[in-house]
Amino acid sequence: MKAGSGYSTANDSQTAVLEALEMALDVGADQPAILFVFITDRYDPEAVVSALNQKLDGVPFAGMCAAGILYGNQVYTSGVAILALHGEELEAQTVLSSGLNKNPFDVGKFTADKILANGHEDGIVAVFPDGFSSNIAEMLRGLYMNMGPSFQYIGGGAGDNLKFYKTYQFTEQGVATDAVAAAMIRGIPVNISLGHGWESYGEPIMVTRAEGKRVYEIDGKPAFDAYKDRFEGVTIDSFSSVGMKHPLGFIDVNGHYYIRDPLSVNPDDNSINCVSEVPPNAIGNIMKGEVSQLINTARSVCINAKKTSKNPSFALICDCISRYLLMADEFEAELETFREVIGDDVPVVGALTFGEVGSVENAPFFHNKTLVLAIG
């Protein structure tokens, strides 16, 4: 198997995608088995898909609009990045499923059924859901119900450059919003690893009332009132910056914390808006994390993902936008860590995501403030 990667920051959508594609296909003359394509919100997804379809003649691809693209050891808040996988041993398929807000569980089941209809019994499933849609975790439950633990899962939520307006998911079949673009690949060994670096802080909390992404009560109090009891001096105005450094964490069935990122306070009732759904009656903690700790975790994630591959062909990364915002200039150190561990000659492509999808015991979970990495 061979892998190629390319990127472009050209202003024109068609020019950018064709420049990135030319770089990605430079590894050989054979047609790729599949492409992963990430763009930022300055580019027209319809023009991107049209240009790829005209050039590729039926090659499947899956991608999304993201808050930024990762290429090599750089992050670009404007650009196009492509990862192309080549090899006769590879099998690949894509699915584009709409209606995520209305029927997330059914969308997950539909996506799974489309993949399973071709007789695939194992492989890697990459999912790129609309990060602004409701209950992505429920979509993953529907996906897993029909696909089960014989597949591995990776992905991340589509977004924009923090405008929170509209974002896009796409495959060779077209462009959609409020949808999930999914890709299945099999025929090569791939190892997936994830981590975040956050630790529990203070006494446990209990979510006594929540609905969707809105937490109404913690420990029987309005959510913000309970939160500020732990941080003297925090105000509604300062909450977004404090919440970025101190998110909520809840323990999963394997004893690992999954993170929920708080965004803002509703002053009418002091409830808290989060990036992702928070289940009622969940017990967890407010979390803490230092930048150095997050970077060390990134190194551990890379080492774990590479442990079964002495000579990796590619790395696919979904890294949370809030990690990038929190680390600021130090985010470069996380990117350098990827290079040091994975290798200078390995194509490394990814996106800054609004929520991340990663396997825990081969079951997909939806995470925040997390790095998910696949090495093949």
Q: Are residues 224 and 93 in the same domain?
A: no
Percent of the chain with pLDDT over 90: 81
Q: Are residues 227 and 278 in the same domain?
A: yes
State the chain's mean pLDDT as an integer. Answer: 93
pLDDT at 363 over 90: no
| Mean pLDDT score, 245-272 | 91
CA 146 to chain centre: 21
Q: Are residues 129 and 206 in the same domain?
A: no
Q: Are residues 274 and 356 in the same domain?
A: no
CA 81 to chain centre: 15
Domain membership of residue 218 as a residue range: 199-288
Domain count across the chain: 2
* pTM above threshold 0.85: yes
Q: Are residues 335 and 239 in the same domain?
A: no
Residue 160: what pLDDT? Answer: 84
Q: Are residues 261 and 191 in the same domain?
A: no
Residue 191: what pLDDT? Answer: 92
pLDDT band per the 50, 70, 90 thresholds, residue 120 = confident
Q: Residue type for 11, please?
A: N
Whether 300 contacts 341, CB under 8 Å: no
Residue 279: what pLDDT? Answer: 87
Q: Among 267, 288, 309, where does a domain finish?
A: 288
Residue 57: what pLDDT? Answer: 86
Residue 31: what pLDDT? Answer: 87
Distance CA 197, CA 326 (A): 13
Q: Are residues 176 and 279 in the same domain?
A: no
Q: CA dist 60 to 32, 41, 85, 188, 266, Å? A: 9, 22, 11, 17, 43
Between 309 and 341, the more confident residue is 341
pLDDT band per the 50, 70, 90 thresholds, residue 36 = very high
| Mean pLDDT score, 231-254 | 88
| Mean pLDDT score, 58-79 | 95
Token code pair at residue 147:
């696909």
Q: Are residues 228 and 327 in the same domain?
A: no
Token code pair at residue 355:
């929520």
- Region of poorest pLDDT, from 79-93, 178-192, 240-254: 240-254
- Region of poorest pLDDT, from 21-30, 82-91, 180-189, 337-346: 21-30
Token code pair at residue 326:
């929190």
pLDDT at 311 over 90: no
Q: Among 288, 318, 350, where does a domain finish?
A: 288
Q: Report DSSP state, residue 160.
A: -
pLDDT at 40 over 90: yes
Residue 117: what pLDDT? Answer: 92
Q: Are residues 102 and 27 in the same domain?
A: yes
Residue 210: what pLDDT? Answer: 96
Residue 255: what pLDDT? Answer: 78
Q: Which of 337, 300, 332, 298 is nearest to 318 (CA)?
A: 298
Q: Are residues 320 and 364 in the same domain?
A: yes
Q: Among 273, 288, 303, where does a domain finish?
A: 288
Q: Are residues 157 and 176 in the same domain?
A: yes
Q: Are residues 276 and 304 in the same domain?
A: no
Between 66 and 28, the more confident residue is 66
pLDDT band per the 50, 70, 90 thresholds, residue 367 = very high
- Which contiguous run of DSSP H or E holds residue 248? strand 248-251
pLDDT at 28 over 70: no
pLDDT at 104 over 80: yes
Residue 21: what pLDDT? Answer: 96
